[in-house]
Amino acid sequence: MSTHVEVVPAAFDPPTCLQQFVERIGDEGAVVSFTGRARGHAKDGAGIEALVLESYRGVTLSSMQQIVADTHAKFPISASHVIHRAGRISPEESIVFVATASRHRRAAFEAADYLMDRLKTEAVFWKREEHANGSTWIEPTDADQSDAARWLGKESEAICPE
């Protein structure tokens, strides 16, 4: 099992992250990656100047490491790579990068999806959107909570023949 979990204060390059991940996984048959980017508009259509993610490094990193450990316990993946920004993030900048590797595609897809659902709702960050009229604290939405809840008690349905 190979894991990499990191909270970074500055912009990162998702293609480079993916290349580094692929170089270290060996001959796994499936690699899935996801990059989340900061949007320039709020749900109401108002412009967003920046997304600010505040963290308490030790607590935030620990929460992310637990999510990754749970992912490896739940799905037959051999490797994962998670990078999450903290600090002030401009629209279109990357916020999060997740990659998973496994022998077969379904496990890699499900593990990446599970990681994102849990990171979105459980990783310890305080989030606010800055806009022309001030700032607004944001929480995971009901849809985010529903996405994460669908995994409760659900065993991986990955078909991974040996």
pTM for this entry:
0.89
pLDDT tens-digit profile of 23-45? 999 889 999 999 999 999 988 88
Cα torsion at 34, 12, 148, 150 (round to 10°)?
Answer: 10
pLDDT tens-digit profile of 97-150? 999 999 999 999 999 999 999 999 999 999 999 998 899 898 888 888 888 889
In a domain, 157, yes or no: no
In a domain, 161, yes or no: no
At residue 124, the pLDDT reads 95
In a domain, 44, yes or no: yes
In a domain, 155, yes or no: no
At residue 158, the pLDDT reads 45
Contact at 8 Å (CB) between 31 and 80? Answer: no
- What DSSP state is assigned to residue 129? E
Q: In which residue are the tokens 């990656």 written?
A: 33
Residue 91 clears pLDDT 80, i.e. is over it = yes
Measured between alpha carbons, how far is 26 from 116 in angstroms, rounded to an integer?
Answer: 24
In a domain, 76, yes or no: yes
Residue 46 clears pLDDT 90, i.e. is over it = no
Number of domains into which the chain is organized: 1
Domain boundaries, position 50: 2-149
- What DSSP state is assigned to residue 128? E
At residue 147, the pLDDT reads 87
At residue 83, the pLDDT reads 98
Measured between alpha carbons, how far is 113 from 97 in angstroms, rounded to an integer?
Answer: 12
In a domain, 20, yes or no: yes
In a domain, 75, yes or no: yes
In a domain, 162, yes or no: no
Contact at 8 Å (CB) between 85 and 93? Answer: yes
At residue 133, the pLDDT reads 87
What CATH number corresponds to the domain at position 17?
3.90.1170.40
Q: How confident is the model at residue 161 (pLDDT cuts 50, 70, 90)?
A: very low
